[in-house]
Structure 1
Amino acid sequence: MKKLLFRADGTTQTGLGHIMRSLALAEMLGESFDRRFAIQNPSDAVLKLLAKQSLPVIALGSNNIAELLTHVSDNDVVVLDGYDFDEAFQRAVREKAHKLVFIDDLIQGHQVADVVINHAGDVTATEYETEPYTTLLLGTHYALVNPAFVQKTQPKDGENKAFVNMGGADLHNVSHQVVDLLLSINPNLRITLALGAANPHADTFADFPKEQLSIQQNLSAKQMARAIGGSGLSVVAASTIAYEVASISRPMIVVQTADNQGRMISFMRDRHLAVGALTLPINAEQLALAVKKARLTPSVFKQRLVFDGKAADRYRQVFTQLCA
């Protein structure tokens, strides 16, 4: 009875963060679970992403609870990840499903799920209002990071190689500013820029020299991990990608690209997991100073303490019990 139904959405406007987190969890749990996704009006890019992992997709026409419930059985553990699943929505799903899991990052309202996951590094149980039966899985021990992201040795030629990713959508094209500034700081730098499936700005990078900028789009988790591992510095959004970089153990600069990333920025800065924590608009001098710090490695050792690589084992144990 190890049946899992993941309900998450992702678009050009909102990015693919919710889908990517759920996909990471699905990958951690592995093929011993019957995993499928329910996505509202999934794009071709999203369908291809899930197809690569041989995960079936139920295409929903709306976020109407009644439509979702037609696909839920009393054998399902339903995993919700999104901002539109309020308490009433969750109660309706839990009433029909075997168990309910909610992936959260807002800490708002009363939680009625059987399990609530929030992998923010500094979140505490006292911040939540829950039912007596609710189990909270909090902090980096439950980091929702694809198992492809594991510790790798530093590349010998990594000093002049950088990896850049500003999220799945990057609506304001922060990537372009980051690439431009990095090349002005170090003209010898070779940059791998990873653009998400929802990114509409690929054409704006045509003027950069191809020998200095390699644009990669729609990368799989393994391809993303390989790109990060081959670089001596990563400049990324303060989102799950920062956890992925830390899991590989690389000097990192994080950039807050959305209002809901404030906690992540604070955590990365306060725990000294990044050599720089920047906000928009990016200050060129601050970025240059952070790039210089990347030659030092204290942050890498701290990353290895915070991200121990055992989250998948913890999740498999939790979900095996939920499905029992």
Structure 2
Amino acid sequence: MKKILFRADASQDIGYGHVIRLLALAESLRNDFECVFVTRFLNSFIEEEINKICHKRIKLEEDETHFNQFLTMLEGDEIVVLDNYFFSTDYQQKIKKSGCKLVCIDDLADRHFVADAIINQIDITSYKSYSKESYTKLFLGLENALLRKDFLLIEQMDKKKEILIAFGGTDFNNLTYEYVKMTIDLKYHLSYKINIILNDQNEKYFDVEEFARKYENIQLYSKLSSKEVSDLMKRACSGILPSSSMCIEALALGINVVSGYYIDNQEYMFKYLNDNGYVNGYGDLNILDKDRLKIDLDECLRKDLDKSFMEKIQKSKENHKKHFVEISNT
């Protein structure tokens, strides 16, 4: 089988999104390609998630030598998939010169690409054009969503009076704590179960844990598998999430989401989801506005289940396989 090298990192500083969405892609391709995951940082959670999906994993040095270390392992007949913002045009050119095919996962369109293909879960071209080579193919939009299989099982949904709050693996602004506190102040916990996903390394983790101890209807989770996350999402009727891969997962499982952004790389996805009516657009999540949150969350809780988003992403797994077979054969 043709080998694909998936190159991404996850840490408390970087976040987990790059690795999670590459694992989603690998899951779509693992029956047709040899999937090898290459990364700098491994903890028990990431190691377990990689081992579930990929045929092999390779750990790179954690310092700056990782760039050259990866280049030296290339044999020239692989497909390389890059997912991070620090892979420059020059680095892409070095991979191409080795003879490898190259695919970049990107959501910013902030540099020139020499890759054979670019995958973006949203169609960013409504806001910004890609600088690319004439041969570079664009696979854009929800039909190319990077979702693990657990988030494509819409027939298994069983919606309850539950609200999901999740700000990703890092949440360095401690927004999980702030938004849980606002939902308590607004007394949502009296009528709804509040499920919270938060990394146990977050500096406000124990404060959030105190909320869970104090209030019967608040439950805190950490280090969940994709199936455990999807099980929570299948029950939730509404959620508060930034515009990230986890938001796409939530929408795919029928959650009415209050969404916004708290870092720059979430703004284009937020614009796309909000402009297309897929989320209730809060805007800048760093601005804590209890009245605004109540308006948006109440509207989400009143909405009926809309399956249009779910139906749009159902063919993404088939599309990824088709695209990579094409890339492999050219």
What TM-score do the two structures reach when normalised by structure 2? 0.89
Matched, 1:155 2:158: yes
2:180 is matched with which residue? Answer: 179
User: Residue 73 of structure 1: CA displacement?
Assistant: 1.8
User: Residue 80 of structure 1: CA displacement?
Assistant: 0.5
Deviation string 1:253-296 (CA, Å, 9 cap, x unpaired) is: 11312122111222222111113433222210111111211233
- Asked whether the 8 Å contact 2:237–2:254 carries over to 1, the reply is no
1:295 is matched with which residue? Answer: 301
Give the whole-Å Cα distance in 1 for the aligned partners of 2:55 and 2:183. Answer: 38
Matched, 1:207 2:178: no
User: Residue 301 of structure 1: CA displacement?
Assistant: 4.2
Amino acid at match of 2:22: S
Matched, 1:98 2:104: no
2:68 is matched with which residue? Answer: 66
Aligned residues: CA RMSD: 2.2
Give the whole-Å Cα distance in 2 for the aligned partners of 1:301 and 1:19. Answer: 27
Distance 1:209 1:195, change over 3 A: closer
- Asked whether the 8 Å contact 2:5–2:81 carries over to 1, the reply is yes
Unaligned 5+ segments in structure 2 are none
User: Residue 152 of structure 1: CA displacement?
Assistant: 4.5
Which stretch of the first structure deviates more once superposed, 272-281 or 93-102? 272-281
Deviation string 1:136-191 (CA, Å, 9 cap, x unpaired) is: 111111111222112247635x23x1111101110111111111111222132211
Give the whole-Å Cα distance in 1 for the aligned partners of 2:200 and 2:123. Answer: 27
Amino acid at match of 1:42: L
Distance 1:222 1:153, change over 3 A: closer
User: Residue 317 of structure 1: CA displacement?
Assistant: 0.6
- How many aligned residue pairs are there? 321
Unaligned 5+ segments in structure 1 are none
Matches within 5 A, 1:158-169: 158-159=160-161, 161-169=162-170
1:271 is matched with which residue? Answer: 276
Deviation string 1:189-218 (CA, Å, 9 cap, x unpaired) is: 211111247645422223214422211111
User: What is the DSSP-based 3-state SS (H/G/I as helix, E as strand, rest coil) of the residue aligned with 1:181?
Assistant: helix
Give the whole-Å Cα distance in 1 for the aligned partners of 2:241 and 2:127. Answer: 28
- Asked whether the 8 Å contact 2:10–2:41 carries over to 1, the reply is no
Which stretch of the first structure deviates more once superposed, 135-144 or 310-319? 135-144
What TM-score do the two structures reach when normalised by structure 1? 0.91
- Asked whether the 8 Å contact 1:249–1:300 carries over to 2, the reply is yes
Distance 1:8 1:236, change over 3 A: same
Distance 1:225 1:121, change over 3 A: farther
User: Residue 299 of structure 1: CA displacement?
Assistant: 7.3
- Asked whether the 8 Å contact 1:11–1:198 carries over to 2, the reply is no
Which stretch of the first structure deviates more once superposed, 145-154 or 107-116? 145-154
- Asked whether the 8 Å contact 2:145–2:313 carries over to 1, the reply is no
User: What is the DSSP-based 3-state SS (H/G/I as helix, E as strand, rest coil) of the residue aligned with 1:116?
Assistant: strand
Deviation string 1:4-50 (CA, Å, 9 cap, x unpaired) is: 10111121112111111111111122333210111124344322331
Matches within 5 A, 1:1-324: 1-61=1-61, 62-64=63-65, 65-123=67-125, 127-150=129-152, 151-152=154-155, 155=158, 158-159=160-161, 161-185=162-186, 186-188=188-190, 189-196=192-199, 199-210=202-213, 211-279=216-284, 280-297=286-303, 300-304=306-310, 307-324=312-329
Give the whole-Å Cα distance in 2 for the aligned partners of 1:282 and 1:55. Answer: 44
Give me the identity figure in percent.
Answer: 25
- Asked whether the 8 Å contact 1:2–1:320 carries over to 2, the reply is no
Give the whole-Å Cα distance in 2 for the aligned partners of 1:323 and 1:314. Answer: 14
